[in-house]
Structure 1
Amino acid sequence: MATNKNKIIWITGASSGLGKALTLVLSKKDHKLIISSRNKDQLNKVKSSCSNPENIEVLPLDLEDISSMSIKVDKAMLIYGSIDILINNAGISQRSLIINTEMSVYKQLMDINYMGTIALTKALLPHFVRQRQGQFVTVTSLMGKFSSPYRSGYCGAKHALHGFFDALRMEHAKDNISVTMICPGFVNTDIARNALTSTGTPQKENDKATQNGMSPEIFAKKMMRAIKNKKFEAYIGKREVMGIYVKRFFPKLLHRMVLRSQVR
């Protein structure tokens, strides 16, 4: 963000976890917010807990309903007249072995994490082009840069987001449109509890790495600094962030390290 004030920011996945933490942090500033997720009641609870709820509008959105994205963008544009930043935060994780995972689970992971995200982005893109400015912020994962067992579909979708948004950044640099990719490590949210198992049901339990991860509040503050500075990519987490650099220079070493960690 060029300044800390007077931005119109749309956040998806704002009803819990990182999205909720971002909303709480941003509400303390002079930004106007649009917050989205499937759960309207929970969005209203988040809004009511914010510092300046009068600057927050709720817009329910389901990323799996790809055909509705143009309508949702039109509604969002009517709220404040323009949008400066779209934070693509909504998504879902996975915990299952490839051999056991049903194809319907892979489709759901791709529909939510990839297809829904790029459909919303593509629907908003013409508005950014017309106003000659805009910033897409997409929350992927360290799993968008390297992989881990039990997350094959999640990793695939997150890797795909990097390919798409790297291309968008190149195509629209001339339009003053920027792209920031946020790659979280372990963050103490419900992402593991909500992760899809091999049949598509939620895992419903946390894991040690997630439970010991960075707090959403600290993460949100670090993320906002990356957005303000319009970083291409930001890796935010604890020691697991080193995996980015080990992968780059010593890929076989990272392979052995991940196997030894027995992460779930």
Structure 2
Amino acid sequence: MSVLAHKIVWITGASSGIGEAIALEVSRMARPDHPVKLVLSARRTDELERVARQTGLPATDVLVLPVDVTAFDQFPALVERVRQHFGRIDFLYLNAGISQRSTVVDTDLSVYQRLMDVNFFGTIALTKAVLPIMLAQGSGHLVVTSSVAGKLGTKYRSGYCASKHALHGFFDALRAEVHRAGLHITLVCPGYIRTPLSLQALNATGHLHGKMDTNQQEGMAPDVFARRLLKAVARQKEEVYIGGRETVGIYLKRFLPGLLSRIVRNREGP
């Protein structure tokens, strides 16, 4: 709790899934003598307000700030609003993202553009808008939600994998640049977490997949994931893998890539 005490925590993608779970877990750690202030962002204002109520925090300690992560030109004004409201930004949890369920040959180029705008360009655009504040403070922690798919490739998720791989290159480079300035970056690679990710995934034409994958349905509970993530952030981990046995794929990619390739080739269904 000492890591979060008196800190300003901005969470994107906070209306559901991982982002919501992080918001609720952070709020559970708050104490009257160790308050935490939250900024909750996503597109759906009504869902953000629901999450804000569920935190149980005083209304003065929660700022509901709707954000469309593809509206890049609005980010400087939104960041300034947070600065004026709370005075600083200590943690930025970058969770907003969408997935994909379609083959390369069938997928419209527009779908790849959408995936990159939301998962990659939106993330780095908001990061760039927040960076000057953190650099001026001499402190700050960026927590970036990647995926196991950010470390390896698998069927029906080519654009999703590409966008998550890109995050690793960008934030590894940024970490080296800002280390001496007192900033920290944690890249988290979730495995299967029980969230609506597959329901909201894009199909080959950009419409919603609309189906809950079995692996997603049987995945780790979001609150369990959030607790493990917050512990890793408190230890200032640079990269962390959280999930079930699917996270073993990351180690197979490193040490037994041929075996992983055969497993991926033989995998059935989206």
TM-score (norm 2): 0.95
- Match in the other structure for 2:37: 32
Aligned residue for 1:14?
A: 14
Aligned counterparts of 1:51 and 1:150: Cα–Cα separation in 2: 40
What percent of counterpart residues are identical? 45
Q: 1:13-162 to 2 correspondence within 5 Å?
A: 13-28=13-28, 29=30, 30-54=35-59, 55-162=61-168
Kindly provide the amino acid, as one letter, of the partner of residue 53 in structure 2. S
Which residue number in structure 2 is paired with residue 242 of structure 1?
A: 248
Distance change (3 Å), C-alpha of 1:59 and 1:85: same
Deviation (angstroms), 1:72:
1.1
Per-residue Cα deviation, 1:99-137 (whole angstroms, up to 9, x for no partner) = 000011000000000001000000110111111011110
CA drift at 1:262: 2.1
The answer to whether the aligner puts 1:198 opposite 2:214 as a matched pair is no
Q: Distance in 1 between matches of 2:247 and 2:55?
A: 31
Dislocated runs of 4+, deviation >4 Å: none
Secondary structure at 2:195's aligned position in 1? coil
2:178 partner SS: helix
Name the CA distance, whole Å, in 2 between partners of 1:147 and 1:127.
Answer: 35
What is the distance in 2 between the residues matched to 1:61 and 1:205?
Answer: 26
Partner of 2:179: 173
- Structure 2, unaligned stretches of length 5 or more? none
Q: Which moved more, 1:4-13 or 1:36-45?
A: 4-13
Deviation at 1:260, TM superposition (A): 2.7
Taking the aligned partners of 2:267 and 2:203, their CA distance within structure 1 comes to 21
Task: Report the alpha carbon displacement of residue 53 of structure 1 after superposing the two structures with TM.
Answer: 4.2
The CA deviation at 1:263 is 5.1
Q: How many residues align?
A: 264
**Cα RMSD after superposing both structures:** 1.1
SS of aligned partner of 1:217:
helix
After superposition, give the CA deviation of every residue in 1:220-241 in whole Å (9 maximum; x if it has no partner). Answer: 1001011111100000000001
Cα distance in 2 for partners of 1:36, 1:4 equals: 19
CA–CA distance in structure 1, aligned partners of residues 4 and 89 of structure 2: 15
Letter in 1 for 2:56: S
- Mapped to 1, the partners of 2:219 and 2:267 lie a distance apart of 15
Deviations 1:141-178 (A, max 9, x none): 01000011000000000000000000100001110011
Q: 2:191 aligns with which of 179, 185, 199?
A: 185
Q: Normalization by structure 1: what TM-score? A: 0.98
| Gap runs ≥5 in structure 1 | none
Aligned partners of 2:130, 2:269: CA distance in 1, in Å? 37
Distance 1:213 1:263, change over 3 A: farther
CA distance in 2, matches of 1:83, 1:59: 14
